[in-house]
Amino acid sequence: MKTIGAAYLGSGRCRFTVWAPLKEKVSLLLLHPEEQEVEMHQEDWWYFTVEVTDIKPGARYRFVPGTGKEGFPDPASCYQPEGVHGPSEVVDHSSFEWTDGNWQNIPLSEMVIYELHVGTFTPEGTFEAIIPRLEELKETGVNAIELLPVAQFPGNRNWGYDGVYPYAVQNTYGGPTALKKLVNACHSTGIAVLLDVVYNHLGPEGNYLEKYGPYFTDKYKTPWGKAVNYDGEYSDGVRDYISQNPRFWQEHYHVDGLRLDAIHTIFDQSAISIWELFRQEVGSMDKPFYLIAESDLNSPRVVQQAESGGFGFDAQWLDDFHHALYVLLDRKGQKFYVDFGKIEQLTKAYKEGFVHTGEHVEFRKKTFGTSSRHVKGDCFVAFTQNHDQIGNRINGERMSTLVDFERLKLSAAALLLSPYIPMLFMGEEYGEENPFLYFVSHTDKELIEAVQKGRKEEFSGYKWEGEPPNPQDEKTFEKSKLQWQKRSSGKHQVLLRWYQKLISLRKSEPALQNFDKDNIQAEPLGKESFILKRQSEQQNQKLFCLFNLSEHTLQYQFPDIDSSYKLILSSKDEQWIEEKAEAVTLPEEPERGTSITLPPLSICIYKNKP
């Protein structure tokens, strides 16, 4: 495996390496201080390399593949200061002064993840602008942030999934040094950093990879562009190009893990899969480094080890949990999630993980999925909102504008009391009301028109009414920025404190730290309510989490054969209600065998008394 890109060696020396099969020659085109073309030497496996002296970090360059005269950016560029079409820049990664030497990462099972988009998280939209807000995230209970993709994309606004340089840090976010400052600050605050990466496709604009070699294949298809060539002719160089990427982020940016986008659209029939190459790369690191998958397979193989035929991921996203809960909180959503809407599906999500485990699924027009009952809870990341579930609505509506305040509290409790790793979407913790819309800033007119047309067609196929906002319009981007000041007043402050309380319970109650499915029970209480039982046999602790999702009161009778219980949290307590709403008092210590009345749209937790 060859180290690719521009490796600055110090003392004015830099080694340039690029993979270009089928090319008889490749030249390095240095642009500063004066333009100079240097022929590169061909080595084994179609790599071209050359070492240059008297060069400084910050020098701009291109490669000229073949006999032509036109130069293109480095496929493994670490920085594109002038954007996707501009020259690449030499980066000295050793020059940054890290202060996180004692950082050992946070156990995945203990993480409370906060997904954020750099461009809309702050008015400035930069890495460094995030740093002053880390303390408030920490006070909320967040101990890991997940950055939407930061690989260089066209223009200055994008979700990040149109990135075209997997090793380059977005210039308008601040570039390499600014990302390092953010990671360093996160670690000093006690916050891990996960990075969303895209290995299933690369964006169309600024994508010059085919100038160098067969990076893509027509053998497979993806919804977003050409599939990456992981198993065809000349795929060894492509596999090196991608499999080195996880270690690059850990080694040079001290990132603590990656979330891989849509792995079900990564196709590889090699004897040694790309997943195994990833695991080999990260397995030798000196501290835990996590790989989390977004998968549409509903298969436990994703988190099984490669030795047993699995993909080897540490965890995977659990979309079924979102769908099962959301439709019960917002009945209007059922037309978008036609296969969900029963309370039994939500209780199954708690007990097993996947809801669809071999049944016929109308949306897919086939039987789908298999059981994950045997998979521990900390192998799943659950959420009630994320960039997709919000941004792929026609108007980017968040949960806070779709349901009332009481249901927002239910949503938070349902997630944070679950036996899964919770992930919040930025602003969720205080009920942000600005939308999160889909936005781009392409420069190619035909591409802009194609994106606008494709967006309209996508929504028409999903029964949405109206037309989506123009993704190219800067106003669409500006509307998506957080109103951070809302955290400190009114119902937003109440909701924030509610999240803090739930996260605090999650970190302090042993029963909520037990991910063993054998110690998790969930049972329907009628058609719109349920009881979630969490327990820790080691600590002899049991929690009864009673959820009434209906608009009617509900009677629950405590078992007569169990121990006594004490109320530790009620969403109807005075401190958790909106202004002018009525508090409801629940029994503090109900007798065994007695009934309690659960108010409409409420959640309460009872803990057994030792």
Q: For residue 321, say whether it is annotated as part of any ligand binding site.
A: yes
| 218 belongs to an annotated ligand binding site | no
Rounded distance, CA 528 to CA 546, Å?
12
Please confirm, yes or no, whether 551 is among the known catalytic residues.
Answer: no
* Residue 319 among known ligand-binding residues: yes
* Cα 165 from Cα 74, distance rounded (Å): 9
Residue whose entry in the numeric block shows the structure tokens 């995945």: 108
Determine whether the annotation assigns residue 482 to a binding site.
no
378 is in an annotated binding site: no
Pairing of strands 47-52, 13-19: antiparallel
- The four Cα atoms 428, 298, 454, 152 give a dihedral, to 10 degrees, of 70
Identified catalytic residue from 276, 294, 406, 528: 294
The one-character DSSP state at 138 is H
- Rounded Cα distance between 195 and 174, Å, is 16
Transcribe 383-413 into DSSP letters: -S--HHHHHTSTT---GGGTS-HHHHHHHHH
User: 320: annotated binding-site residue?
Assistant: yes
Residue position matching structure tokens 């993704």 = 471
Query: Would you say 511 and 539 are in contact if contact means Cβ atoms under 8 Å apart?
Result: yes
Q: Does 92 count as an annotated binding residue?
A: no
448 annotated as a binding-site residue: no
Q: Report whether 389 belongs to an annotated binding site.
A: yes
CA angle 431, 547, 422 (to 5 degrees): 50
To the question of whether residue 242 is assigned a binding role by annotation, the answer is no
The closest of 322, 299, 491, 293 to 390, measured between CA atoms, is 322
322 is in an annotated binding site: yes
Q: What's the rounded Cα separation, in Å, for the pair 544 and 417?
A: 11
Q: Is 391 annotated as a binding residue?
A: yes
Instruction: Say how far apart CA 249 and CA 357 lie, in whole Å.
Output: 35
Helix ranges (H only) for 31-162 are 118-121, 127-130, 134-140
Q: Is 263 annotated as a binding residue?
A: yes
Contact (Cβ atoms closer than 8 angstroms) between residue 117 and residue 214: no
Given the residues 74, 196, 205, 261, the one annotated as active site: 261
| 135 catalytically annotated | no
Q: Do 196 and 146 touch, CB atoms closer than 8 A? A: yes
Q: Residue 236 annotated as binding?
A: no
Amino acid at 316: Q
Give the annotated binding-site residues for substrate.
259-264, 319-323, 387-392
Active site residues per annotation? 261, 294
Give the annotated binding-site residues.
259-264, 319-323, 387-392
